[in-house]
Amino acid sequence: MELAQATPYINSIWIGSAFLSGFIFKRLSLPPMLGFLLAGFLMNFLGLTAGSLALDKIADLGIILLLFSIGLKLDLKGLTKPEIWGGSTIHALFTISFLTLLILGAGMFGVAHLTNLNLAQAALIGLALSFSSTIFAIKFLEEKGELNAMHGRASIGILIMQDLMAVFFLTLSKGEFPSIWALALPLFLFAIRPLLLHLIDHLGHGELLPLGGLFIALVVGTTSFTLVGLKPDLGALIIGMLIGSHPRSTELAASLYSFKDLFLVSFFFQIGLSGTPTIDHALIALGLVVALSVKSSFYYLVLTRFRLRARTSILATLALSNYSEFGLLVTAIAAKNGWLSPDWIIIVALALTFSFLLSAPLNSKANLLYNYFAPLLHRFETKTRHRDDSRIDLHGAEILIFGMGPFGTMAYDVTRERQGEKVLAVDLNMKIVKMHHKERRRVIWGDATDYDFWRKIDLDKIKIIMLAFTNHQANMLALQEIQSAGFKGPVTASSRFEDHRLELEEAGATAAYNIYSEAGAGYADHVCKTTGLVCKAQFVVPNTVIPQYPVTESDKS
C-alpha cells in the first residue's frame, strides 16, 4: 500500500510511531520525549502530515497542565532570590550578545541562511536561543525527584524568569500592550483564592479532583489572563502558585499527571511535523548545538558567582543546557511577521531536537559527571558560601530517615516512639520541613542524592539509614552516594513495585520493602491487635528482612 493511500490510517500511524519510538528510547535509557520528536520528523519525511488529530490544541493543554503542576509545587518567595532574578538577567545578556556576534560572524563567512541577516535579526535569533526548555528540565527533575532540591529550585526559578521575558516579547510582537484591566488581575486572583481553596476541600478523591484541576487551570487561570491580553500559559502557572499551599495540592497535581504526560506527547510529536529539514538546516543546527557549550558555561559561571556550590551549579546548568520550545515559538512569530525567513523555524526545531539528544544522557549521568569532575569544578566556587550551604548538624542523631512524605512520616513517628531523640528526618522540600517543624518533628533540610551532603555530616555516629522516597531513582542515587561516602551500617529503602525492590537490594540495600505489600501486612497485624484475634506470629512479607533496632526500656514495658 502506498503512503498516499494510507490517509485513513494516519492517526493510527501517528500514535503507533510515537509509541514505538518512545518505547525504544525508554529501553535505551533515554527520555521517551526524544522518540516522540524523531517520530514526528519521520512522519514529516514520509509525507504523513494530514492526520485529523488536533495536535496543536492537545499540545497547548499539555503545556498548560505542566505549568499548572509546576505552580502547585513552587515557592513564590524563591523568585526573589538574587541568584534567580539576577542570574537569569545576567545570563540572558551574555548569551544574547554572544549568539548575536556568532551569527553575524558566521554570516560574514558566507554560511547559508546567515549571510543576509542584519543586527536586529541576529539579536532576535539570539533571544530565541537564549531560553532553556521548561518542559525538558521539569520532566527530568520530576523523574529524578529533584524538583525541590536546591539545584531544582534554582533551575525552575531561572526558567520562570525566562518565561516572563518570553511573555514580554510576545506582548511586543503583537503590537499591543495588555489591557488596563491587567492591573486589577492580582486583586481578582487574591480575592478568588479562598473560594478555590474551599473548592479543593470538597472535591473528594474521584473524577471531580482532576476535573477540578482542569477547571482551575483552564477556566480560572488561562481565561482570566487571556481576557486582559496576557499569555494564558502564565495564567496557569500563577494560579497554581496561588493554591500550591493547600494541603491537597500534591494530590491534585498527581491526579493530573497522566493527562499532562499524554498531552505533552503531542507537543514533541508536533515539533517534528514542523517542516522537512535539509542538509543546510541540519549543519546550522549542529553548529548551534556546539555553541550550546558556551551558553551552558555562562550558566555555571553566573550561578557560582552567586555563591552556589559547584554541585548545585553544575546540576542546574545541565538541566538548563538545551534550547527551548519558547524559542521555537518566538521564531515562529518572527517568521509570521516577516522578520525572519521560515527556514529558521526548521533550524531552531532541529537545534532544539539535537540539544535534547545531547542533554538527555548528560542529565541521566549528572551525579556521576559531577563526582568525576568535582576537583575541576570546585576551582570556580567562591570563598564564601550561599546561606543555604553550611556544615550540617545532626543534633546527636543515630538514625536518619530520608523523605518525609506520608510513608516516611509514619516511619519517623513509629521509630521516634521507640528510639526517642535518636532519630532525625531529612527532606529536600523546605515547605515540608517547615510543616514538620510546626508539628514538633525533628526534620532538617538536605538532599540524600547530594555528593557533598554526605561529606558535611558526621557518619561515624549514624547506626541506621532509612530511605523513604517514593521516587525509585532518588532511592538508587542515594544508595550510590551513601556507599561512596563509606557508610558501613544497614541501609533500608522503600519501593512501590516488586522489580524496584529487587533492584534496590541488588544495589546494596540491607533490606527493601514494597510499601503496598507491607501496608497489607501491617493492616492484618493491626486487625489482630485491635479485634483480639489470636495471631501466632507477626505478619511478615516474604523475601524481606525486618531490621532489628536496639530494644529500649520503653519497648520492654
Those residues whose C-beta lies under 8 Å from the C-beta of residue 228, and which sit 6 or more positions away, are: 178, 179, 181, 182, 185
Does the residue 289 lie in any domain?
no
Task: Specify the residue for cell string 543515630.
Answer: 398
The residues pairing with 424 across neighbouring beta strands, listed in sequence order, are 400
- In the chain the first and final C-alpha atoms are separated, in Å, by 80
Same structural domain, 132 and 198: yes
Phi and psi based region of residue 431 (left: phi greater than 0; alpha: psi -120 to 50; beta: remaining)? alpha
| pLDDT of the residue at 167 | 64
What is the residue-wise DSSP string for 483-526?
HHTT--S-EEEEESSHHHHHHHHHTT-SEEEEHHHHHHHHHHHH
Inter-residue contact 291 to 73 (CB < 8 Å): no
* Reduced 3-state DSSP string for 55-94: HHHHHHHHHHHHHHHHHHHCCHHHHHCHHHHHHHHHHHHH
Length of the chain: 557
Tens-digit pLDDT string for the chain (557 aa): 444 445 667 888 888 888 998 899 888 867 687 788 788 888 888 888 777 677 777 877 887 887 787 778 766 666 778 888 899 999 999 999 999 999 999 999 888 888 889 999 999 999 999 999 887 888 778 777 677 677 888 898 898 888 778 766 765 665 556 778 888 888 998 899 999 999 998 888 888 888 988 899 888 988 888 888 777 877 888 888 888 878 888 788 878 877 777 787 887 787 777 667 789 989 999 999 999 999 999 999 999 999 888 888 999 999 999 998 778 778 877 887 889 988 898 898 889 888 988 888 888 888 788 888 988 998 998 887 776 656 677 888 899 999 998 888 988 998 888 888 889 999 988 888 989 999 999 999 888 877 668 877 888 889 999 998 878 888 888 888 888 788 888 998 988 888 888 999 888 888 888 877 766 666 676 666 666 655 554 444 444 443 343 433 333 33
Does the residue 286 lie in any domain?
no
Same structural domain, 492 and 364: no
Same structural domain, 119 and 249: yes
433 backbone dihedrals φ, ψ, rounded to 5°: -60, -45
Same structural domain, 403 and 374: no
Whole-angstrom distance, CA of residue 546 vs CA of residue 513: 9
Inter-residue contact 111 to 104 (CB < 8 Å): no
CA-wise closest residue to 318 among 352, 354, 351, 367: 367
- How is the beta sheet containing 443-445 ordered, strand by strand? 443-445, 423-427, 399-402, 464-467, 491-495, 511-514
User: What are the counts of helices (DSSP H) followed by strands (DSSP E) for the chain?
Assistant: 24, 6
Whole-angstrom distance, CA of residue 252 vs CA of residue 70: 12
Whole-angstrom distance, CA of residue 151 vs CA of residue 503: 27
CA distances from 17 to 14, 24, 162, 214, 473 (A): 5, 11, 33, 28, 28
Specify the amino acid at residue 265. Answer: V
CATH of residue 464: 3.40.50.720
Domain end point (choices 380, 407, 429): 380
Whole-angstrom distance, CA of residue 271 vs CA of residue 137: 17
CATH of residue 246: 1.20.1530.20
Same structural domain, 413 and 534: yes
Domain end point (choices 380, 410, 433): 380
Q: How many CB atoms lie within 10 A of CB 467?
A: 25
Same structural domain, 227 and 353: yes
Does the residue 47 lie in any domain?
no
Whole-angstrom distance, CA of residue 56 vs CA of residue 51: 12
Q: Coil, strand or helix: which one is 436? A: helix
Same structural domain, 368 and 450: no
Does the residue 385 lie in any domain?
no
Cell numbers describing residue 242: 496561588
Does the residue 271 lie in any domain?
no
Domain range for 97 is 56-178+188-263+295-380
